[in-house]
Amino acid sequence: MALDGKVAVVTGGAQGLGRGFAEVLLKKGAKVSLFDVGEETGNATKGAFEKEFGPDQILFCVCDVTSEKQLKDAFQRTVQKFSGIDIVCNNAGISNERDWEKTVAINLCGVIRGTYLALDHMKKENGGRGGVIINISSMAGLGPLPASPVYTATKHGVVGFSRAMAMASDAAGYGVRINTMCPIYVRTALLSTAGSEECAGEFYRIKHVNRKLMEFGVLEVSDVVKAFDNLVLDESQNGAAVIVKMGGFDYVKFPTAEDLLGSNAP
């Protein structure tokens, strides 16, 4: 998929990974709509991007992904400004075990809602152009992060939902690919707050078990952006989950029905 002239949405795009994803899309000629709850950071990022890429390439919508109305309005504003949508990255996420229902609402319900609304605009049966949706999970979507059980559950949920939706999209002829990214730790604001007493809650006393997993390494945003760029462009991938780790990225090999059921497989 060539990116020049394409229209992209990035949730949680004001900072961190989302900002990095937005920047690479803009560099390759796409128009980008940032959805973020952080008004000040979002406006600052919009201003910086406008300076570099010009005023017509970027839109910032103050939007909380837990609100159906705000998310719907943000998609609508994007379509009105840019005409259609080709790429959606559901990236907004938090790590807060104390307020675990908020973690589920943003990390899992926000991704589901963002995917459904994206499909309303992108699927061919609605007159959309097709395209690609990339949902941001984590390595904690593939294995346990012990001091963050609810975060782990939401990220497993993102992988399962995205794989099922990829098959549904294919079977229904939507023309939209749906893939997931699963990075190990990345140096962002989320990482510096997740281990705090305020976010870890009762698991604060065992935060060392999460910290130990830093032995896998800590990525820079640019490492994850490279894998994102590859996944957006690779039209052969639908239902893929990409692990991003030190030294590069790989496609996850999931067990097949035959692996799981042996001779009972259909």
Give the count of beta carbons closer than 10 Å to the beta carbon of residue 138: 29
Three-state DSSP class for 174?
coil
Q: Which residues pair with 182 in a beta bridge?
A: 243
Side chain identity, residue 32: V
Contact criterion met (CB below 8 Å) for 4 and 28: yes
Known catalytic residue: 204?
Answer: no
Please report, as residue ranges, which positions from 193 to 212 form the binding site for ligand NAD (by CB under 6 A).
none
Closer residue to ligand LTR4HWGZ in complex, CB, 135/148:
148
Nearest to 60 by CA among 85, 32, 92, 87: 32
How far apart, in Å, are the Cα atoms of 261 and each of 21, 31, 255, 264? 39, 46, 10, 5
Residues 6+ apart with CB under 8 A from 208: none
- 91's contact among ligand LTR4HWGZ, ligand NAD, none, with CB below 5 to 8 A by partner kind, is ligand NAD
Please report, as residue ranges, which positions from 157 to 196 form the binding site for ligand NAD (by CB under 6 A).
183, 185-186, 188-191
Please report, as residue ranges, which positions from 166 to 195 form the binding site for ligand LTR4HWGZ (by CB under 6 A).
184-185, 191, 194-195
Which one among 213, 229, 245, 252 touches ligand LTR4HWGZ, defined by CB under 6 A? 213
Closer residue to ligand LTR4HWGZ in complex, CB, 152/169:
152
Q: Is 108 in the site for ligand LTR4HWGZ (CB under 6 A)?
A: no
Residues 16 and 42: their CA atoms lie apart, in Å, by 11
- 16's contact among ligand LTR4HWGZ, ligand NAD, none, with CB below 5 to 8 A by partner kind, is ligand NAD
Give one word for 177, left, alpha or beta, with left for phi > 0 and alpha for psi -120 to 50. beta
Q: Is 148 in the site for ligand LTR4HWGZ (CB under 6 A)?
A: yes
Part in contact with ligand LTR4HWGZ (CB under 6 A); list of ranges 13-21, 76-84, 145-153, 161-169? 145-153
Contact criterion met (CB below 8 Å) for 78 and 33: yes
Residues 215 and 199: their CA atoms lie apart, in Å, by 22
Mark 34-63 with x for binding to ligand LTR4HWGZ (rule: CB under 6 A) and - for no binding.
------------------------------
> Structure tokens of 33?
């709509």
Question: Rule CB under 6 A: which residues touch ligand NAD?
Answer: 11-12, 14-18, 36-38, 41, 63-66, 91-94, 106, 136, 138, 183, 185-186, 188-191
Q: Tell me which residues are annotated as active site.
A: 151
